[in-house]
Structure 1
């Protein structure tokens, strides 16, 4: 493993009016890595060495997260996907793979949908494509995320991380307000997913924030799970898509799992 896999090189890119922070680890074919809500690229610390052993990993801090300061626009997945499309062009990358978890999984999926000419493969983990797919009790908890919750989160790793690395640590309540507002917005990307042109791996924990059936439904939209695969794989999804439900994991520890890293790498490295 290269030394850069653990230390990384940080830089900023001015794209779409936002000063996007990213860290580069390892070497090989480029992979853009996108974190979950209230996190940063650092949340992949447990599996980053494994990923960077195979790829040049570009871990991005999304709008208002980590070392990327917020700007005056809503925190919306399509806008953040356009940021990633712009970052790919800014860095001159040749169709990098895009891997994301939770919020980042949604951004990865939308990057592949909105900028297919810029992306090699997509891994979208623990990202539902309809708000209604999330368990009702979780939707209730999401409804309580706002600036007033900042005080109650001060002992959490999310707060500690933000306070340590954010350009404006005092913006944490603002981030909670914006991410809370974003989670209240209804969305349904069914039609967009159905037209996906980039080979995509849908990943979920077997005890995720939405039921396994939802991720099977996404796979169905990608022409998967509709017929026998065939001896030679001729019945597999036409677009090269795949599905992985990972055993013994939840929405909260999938990102730390070597099983997730190995599954993502197996899918991405099929193109080698």
Structure 2
């Protein structure tokens, strides 16, 4: 499959969990639910979607209030959006799909795997920190400025252009900023939950990500990773089949476009146990 084979906007809506959720299906093979980052949509994966769709049936979802999915009267919360994805998996009759999420989508995918491990085969969570205080201080300061008042200043950004082009209610952009800002201001720590993760998981980050590499190493350690030599035959690798990838030369803002991210994701998802 090539980029010219991908037609965005040709998807469907699923009425699940109280939200009319937009999704598209590309490619064939074992199903892979692909979740975008904040202020984006499934279209952000355009550079790597052909590669993923050559190996998997990719279900590309627009999360609550993003892309072609209209907002509803509830907060933007990863646990609530995880319920949407779990309901979509049931709605589509998917048999243990893989979940791949980036940033906000990585947090949503993680929550699905934590609460519904029986619905998920493998999980890839990219550039998604599990504690609010893990990210760099200057990023926390920037996040504190996100809100409706910033809408005017964002009119020249790709996020605004995309929203105006595809959103069912383009005038809701300030509302989305308010909700994103409120979500980012809320403290959270999923350390204890991650310790009990039952789904084989690949933790991915850029080497210059929103949180430093040590945070993702800490997450890997919660999953029994990096605590001992893996052994000649990999016999001492993490017991749950988990893995870690810190991708070189990338940042939080270009990792999801990277062929290296696509290749690393596929290598983990298609690994023969």
CA contact (8 A) 1:5 1:53 kept: no
What is residue 207 of structure 2 aligned with on the other side? 206
Matches within 5 A, 1:58-137: 58-137=59-138
Cα distance, 1:7 vs structure 2: 1.9
Contact 1:5 1:26 in 2 (8 A): no
Q: Distance in 2 between matches of 1:119 and 1:4?
A: 30
- Provide the aligned length of Structure 1 versus Structure 2: 272
Q: What CA deviation, in whole Å up to 9, does each residue of 1:175-225 have, x standing for no partner?
A: 000000000000000011000000000000000000000000000000000
3-state SS in 1 of match to 2:253 = coil
1:23 deviates by 0.7
CA shift at 1:231, angstroms? Answer: 1.1
Q: How does 1:223-238 map to 2 (within 5 A)?
A: 223-238=224-239
User: 2:206 and 2:245 mapped to 1: Cα distance?
Assistant: 8
Runs of 4+ in 1 over 4 A off after TM superposition: 2-5
Partner of 1:33: 34
- Cα deviation per residue 1:31-53 (whole Å; 9 max; x = unaligned)? 00000000000000010001001
TM-score, L = length of structure 1: 0.98
Quick one: distance in 1 between partners of 2:79 and 2:4? 31
Cα distance change of structure 1 residues 5 and 34 upon mapping to structure 2, 3 Å threshold: farther
Q: What is the distance in 2 between the residues matched to 1:127 and 1:172?
A: 23
Match of 1:165 in 2: 166
Tell me the equivalent position of 2:16: 15
**Map of 1:149-164 to 2, 5 A cutoff?**
149-164=150-165
Q: TM-score, normalised by structure 2?
A: 0.98
Give the conservation status (yes or no) of the 8 Å contact 2:86–2:112. yes
Q: Cα RMSD (Å) of the superposition? A: 1.2
Shift of 1:4: 8.9
Contact preservation (8 Å) 2:28, 2:53: yes
Q: Following TM superposition, by how much is the alpha carbon of 1:2 offset from its aligned partner in structure 2, in angstroms?
A: 7.4
Three-state SS of the structure 1 residue aligned to 2:151 is: helix
Aligned equivalents of 1:27, 1:2: Cα separation in 2: 14
Could you say if the C-alpha distance between residues 2 and 94 of structure 1 is closer, same or farther in structure 2, counting changes exceeding 3 Å? farther
Whether the aligned pair in 2 keeps the contact of 1:2 and 1:26 (CA below 8 Å) is no
Instruction: Give the 3 Å change call, closer, same or farther, for CA 177–3 of structure 1 in structure 2.
Output: closer
**Using the alignment, how far apart are the partners of 1:156 and 1:91 within structure 2?**
34
Structure 2 unaligned regions, length at least 5: none
Q: Deviations over 1:63-96 (max 9, x none)?
A: 0000000000010001111111110001000000
Tell me the distance in 2 between the aligned counterparts of 1:25 and 1:94. 17
Distance 2:152 2:116 in 1: 39
